[in-house]
Chain A
Amino acid sequence: MTDIATLQGELLAAIAAAAAPDALEAQRVHALGKQGVVTGLLKTLGAMSADERQAEGPRIHGLREAVTAAIAERKAALDRAALDARLAAEREDVTLPYGLPAAGSVHPVSQVMDELAEIFADLGFAVATGPEIEDDWHNFTALNIPELHPARAMHDTFYFPDEREGRKMLLRTHTSPVQIRTMLNQPPPIRIIAPGRTYRSDSDATHTPMFHQVEGLVIDRGIHMGHLKWTLETFVRAFFERDDIVLRMRPSYFPFTEPSAEVDVGYTRKDGKRIIGGGEPDGWMEILGSGMVHPKVLAACGLDPEEWSGFAFGCGIDRLAMLKYGMDDLRAFFDGDLRWLRTYGFASLDVPTLSGGISA
């Protein structure tokens, strides 16, 4: 009885002293191997009387369990120490500056076009496109700007020496020819916006020979100026994300609309800056031209002005971007300067959505 207790003490001490996995294995073989001391004791149980076995059995089994447990525990401790040593050896300086992966951007003009598409999709407007190299019929004549009309001269048009089917070719001076192409190609009712590049021979801080416009066109039965006004109010408020934006419509003149109106947006002054919106405007900024589609334009597109009416509007996209995002020089839009793009560009996932917000 003392023998077993002593033996257990010796075995556990030897296991605890095993400093490496192979030493521990040697101790396991010494105790629990085929020739092991504990195995030897277990074998003696078979030769014992029932009474002896009753007394010795639990003690010998207890010895085996204690040794087994001690070996497992020691093994876990050694494994943990080995892993600790490995991890300590694998240590690296993770403060090493790696920098962020290259991040690209979306140009503000594209972003604003996406914003417009989203706002107008909600109002049922599809997006239409047309060629930038146009003929003078689509760009002028069909829009009730006959040759020699003073408005034609006011457009500062870029011309090509080329003619196609007897028509002078030019760079479109506005997105309005898309109105004509749309009306010629699809029956009403029509609701479209047409964003795109436009060109005029003009260059200073607020004019570049290439710029972007968006055209809007609605043709249906019973459309009037009130619908135009509501549409523009809804659009401008959604775009600038303010309910308190006031619009002012002024009678004006465009050959392709009658009546025509220029639209000003009210601004308030804050810290010397003009902020779009505010119920009591401190001043007005012109943002777009609009009007009811001229009966001659409807007729040129094969629509009966007695049956159909509609409105159209056109607005500078670059200017919208400047007003919303604060750029002050239009020329920088077209320079591809990375410093500017990093400042005013949008991340790839800044997708304007109605649910997430137009300003993304």
Chain B
Amino acid sequence: MKFSLSWLKDHLDTQADAATVAEALTRVGLEVEGVSNAADALAPFTIARVLTAERHPQADKLQVLSVDAGNGPMQVVCGAPNARAGLVGIFGPPGAYVPGLDVTLKVAAIRGVESNGMMCSARELQLGEGHDGIVELPGDAPVGVAYAQWAGLDDPVFDVSITPNRQDCMGVRGIARDLAAAGLGTLKPLAVPSIAGEGAAAVAIRTDDPEGCPAFYGRTVAGVANGPSPDWLRRRLEAVDQRSISALVDITNYVMIDLGRPLHVYDMAKLSGALVARRARDGESVEALNGKTYALTPAMTVIADDVGVHDIGGIMGGEHSGVVDATTDIVIECAYFDPAAIARTGQALGLTSDARQRFERGVDPAFLDDGLAIATGLVLDLCGGRPSEVIRAGAPPVTPRTVAFDPARTPALGGIDVPADRQRAILESLGFGVGGDWTVTVPSWRRDVDGTADLVEEVVRIAGLDSVPSTPLARAEGVAKPTASDAQLVERRIRRAAAARGLHEAVTWSFISEEEARPFGGGAWTLANPISESLKVMRPSLLPGLVAAAQRNRARGEDAVRLFEIGRRYAADAEHPTLGFVRSVDEVGLGGREPGGWAAAKADALALIAAVSGRDLAQRLRVEAPASPWYHPGRSGVLKLGARPVAEFGELHPELLRAAGLRHAACAGELFLDALTLRRAGKKPAYAPNPLQPVKRDFAFVLPEDKPAAQLDLAIRKADKLVEDVTFFDLFRLPSGERSLALRVTLQPAQASFTDAELKAISDRIVAAAEKAGASLRG
């Protein structure tokens, strides 16, 4: 919402300058987004008189002027055909920036004659389109005075962001009322002309849609003369970025901005029959003033005559029945449209307008008669004509609302002690009626206010939010309790464990393309209105985003991509917190080469699980192969705790890498954080080290390819209860293709040191168990 200081002063009696007004606007909740002044750009330009005009000695089309800009004659070369002695115009001295030319003036010789500045055209100063010659001002314009000041252009324009609850401030008068309440001046009374209508309107007006258009007021004015608006009106509208169109159209825009009251004017000559507010019929359409044609539905309220639709009620007028310069007889519409209906229609059509913004927030339902009178008065003033009597079809919802208020609620909720009589004064200055028993009557223009908290807000914002004293929250008594849940601790711990393993945390989009989702079984949730095809499906896995990020980094020349992300996978029934990681690393560098492939991914998965759930749990996990289809079928696995999968790991499927454009091998994994339990460090077992020395025994077994090593490991662990640990320390392939696995078994004596016979017996049991698992002791 834009308005100028002079416009504001039509309604507010104040001496405040622009800065004071801006500060007060923001203070009461009308956020100032900018203050500009057209005069700032024109500051160096002054009014000047042409004393003499001689032909340029070197050029036919140029003249050499002697110009007085208040400091005596100066020589200026000018090419304008209308330049002549005695003309009063606008002079730009050297150093002035000419906005329309994007040039800064300087003293220069033009065809050998020195020129000390420039007489300007309207277009050069961006005052208008005129470029036939230099600006001609009235002969009595004061020479030497700044032009902008003399022309009344020195008028700051405020751009204020109006929140959706304050329809009343979508008119200058509402803003003035707030500023008056804030102590910036006095609200002037609103002048409403009394219009004596002559006879009945020449057009019948009625509403057949009391829900969408409860009230349709209007009158005709015969014998108007439309045309350009007077300067004051044109300038006011242009200052707030409204294009001046014609006096009749400008009047409706003026009243809308001035008073928040949208109106519409029809050319009676283009209507046939009664003008009716009704629901649109199936198949109807209208060409609106913006030149676009809109298909209408029976849910929409329109204004129509016997022939067809002329107006999308309360949103935009129609192209065909709008006024033109030749218009002589008009119908002025002043209606009340239901805010929800306007919102529905506007959303359905995807059509916004200044009128819609006001109607859907709810215009003052008690201002139809006055609004119509003010608009009629302006029409009569500017265009003449004979007004009819007013037709009032339907009735606006004007039932007064009251709130039983208790001024004690202001300190209780607002935290600020405002004396009761001051509260009363604030509310009354905003137009509220305050009864002796604090029954507060809400003014008709404040649709947003319907309860105690609203009134507290009114008092607090005018009294000043900044004066609310800071009040510490009481600290809870006793020992501070932890505030993070187990799930959050799992995330925090695993995040830092992953970073410690050399992985960089990325945050990638929660939505991906359908193509990216497809190898992962597709997404369970697809947006109806995605911002683009690439951000459309809620990800079923974190890997597509990470693989894409890995590809981008690789394409930038990174040798080593190690990424992880903690976020959610979106299943049909739930969102699963997940850690995903991707490694794509060239084996470069002398130290600590990383094992590539599935082994690296498995190591990551186990280490991260151990960090969260403890090493004991990580040790108990079973591995099943393979993992999901987006992994290499022979080099991937699922880590399970009992029957519950807690992670997947492996090398990524070559097809997936190819689709993602990743031309390097990559391994990856996902940890299902909602399947992991948090190990709490607090509880410790009693310290009871076994005094007996453990015994280590090394074995080498031959294991066929189809027998999983995990089964061998498990079999040996279960071979005897004194087996404490099994460590695989060597693997090589025999010429037969079978694997030779070397492992060390740690045996912990329980009661007494082992005898040779006992050790032999345990070794035998280990070998027997290994054989059951498909291994044979290597000779």
Nearest A-chain residue to B472, judged by Cβ:
A230
Query: Residues of B contacting A150 with CB < 8 Å?
Result: 164, 343, 357, 360-361
Q: How far is the CB of B769 from chain A (nearest CB, A)?
A: 39
Partner of A333, one of B343, B507, B591, B594: B507
Most buried by A among B461, B558, B560: B461
Query: Residues of B contacting A260 with CB < 8 Å?
Result: 457
Decide: A229 and B415 in contact? CB cutoff 8 A: yes
Q: Is A274 on the interface with B (CB-CB < 8 A)? A: no
Q: How far is the CB of B559 from chain A (nearest CB, A)?
A: 10
Q: How far is the CA of A241 from the CA of B413 in the complex (A)?
A: 30
Q: Is A355 on the interface with B (CB-CB < 8 A)? A: no
Nearest A-chain residue to B470, judged by Cβ:
A230
Query: Residues of B contacting A197 with CB < 8 Å?
Result: 510, 567-568
Contact mask for chain A residues 7-21; partner B; CB cutoff 8 A; 1 contact, 0 none: 000000000000000
Q: How far is the CB of B544 from chain A (nearest CB, A)?
A: 12
Nearest A-chain residue to B26, judged by Cβ:
A250
- From B150-158, B203-211, B380-388, B527-535, the one touching the partner chain is B527-535
Q: Is A294 on the interface with B (CB-CB < 8 A)? A: yes
Contact mask for chain B residues 505-534; partner A; CB cutoff 8 A; 1 contact, 0 none: 111111100000000000001111111000
Q: How far is the CA of A22 from the CA of B413 in the complex (A)?
A: 99
Q: How far is the CA of A251 from the CA of B453 in the complex (A)?
A: 13
Decide: B485 and A127 in contact? CB cutoff 8 A: yes
Decide: B457 and A227 in contact? CB cutoff 8 A: no
- From B67-75, B99-107, B546-554, B732-740, the one touching the partner chain is B546-554
Decide: B416 and A225 in contact? CB cutoff 8 A: yes
Q: How far is the CA of A102 from the CA of B567 in the complex (A)?
A: 23
Most buried by A among B496, B508, B565: B496
Instruction: Classify the interface of chain B: helix, strand, loop or mixed.
Output: mixed
Query: Residues of A contacting B502 with CB < 8 Å?
Result: 101-104
Decide: B500 and A104 in contact? CB cutoff 8 A: yes
Query: Residues of B contacting A301 with CB < 8 Å?
Result: none
Nearest B-chain residue to A147, judged by Cβ:
B340
Decide: B466 and A249 in contact? CB cutoff 8 A: yes
Q: How far is the CB of A255 from chain B (nearest CB, A)?
A: 8
Contact mask for chain B residues 247-283; partner A; CB cutoff 8 A; 1 contact, 0 none: 0000000000000000000000000000000000000
Q: How far is the CB of B298 from chain A (nearest CB, A)?
A: 17
Query: Residues of B contacting A239 with CB < 8 Å?
Result: none
Decide: B163 and A252 in contact? CB cutoff 8 A: yes
Decide: B415 and A127 in contact? CB cutoff 8 A: no
Nearest B-chain residue to A230, judged by Cβ:
B470
Contact mask for chain B residues 661-693; partner A; CB cutoff 8 A; 1 contact, 0 none: 000000000000000000000000000000000
Q: Is B199 on the interface with A (CB-CB < 8 A)? A: no
**Contact status of A336 and B546, CB under 8 A, knowing A132-B510, A162-B525:** yes
Query: Residues of B contacting A171 with CB < 8 Å?
Result: 510, 527
Decide: B560 and A102 in contact? CB cutoff 8 A: yes
Decide: B527 and A249 in contact? CB cutoff 8 A: no
Query: Residues of B contacting A339 with CB < 8 Å?
Result: 556
- From A41-49, A80-88, A152-160, A180-188, the one touching the partner chain is A152-160
- From A27-35, A71-79, A346-354, the one touching the partner chain is A346-354
Binding site for B on A (CB under 8 A): 96-99, 101-107, 109-110, 114, 117, 120-121, 123-127, 129, 131-133, 148-151, 153-154, 158-162, 169, 171, 191, 197, 199, 201-203, 209-210, 218, 222, 224-231, 233-234, 248-253, 255, 258-262, 292, 294-295, 305, 309, 333-339, 341-342, 345-349, 351
Q: Which 5 A-B pairs have the closest CB atoms?
A: A336-B549, A251-B29, A226-B415, A102-B502, A226-B471
Q: A101-B502, A252-B31 are in contact. List 12 more A-B contacts (CB 8 A).
A: A98-B590, A99-B589, A110-B505, A129-B487, A160-B525, A226-B468, A227-B472, A251-B28, A334-B508, A335-B552, A336-B549, A338-B563
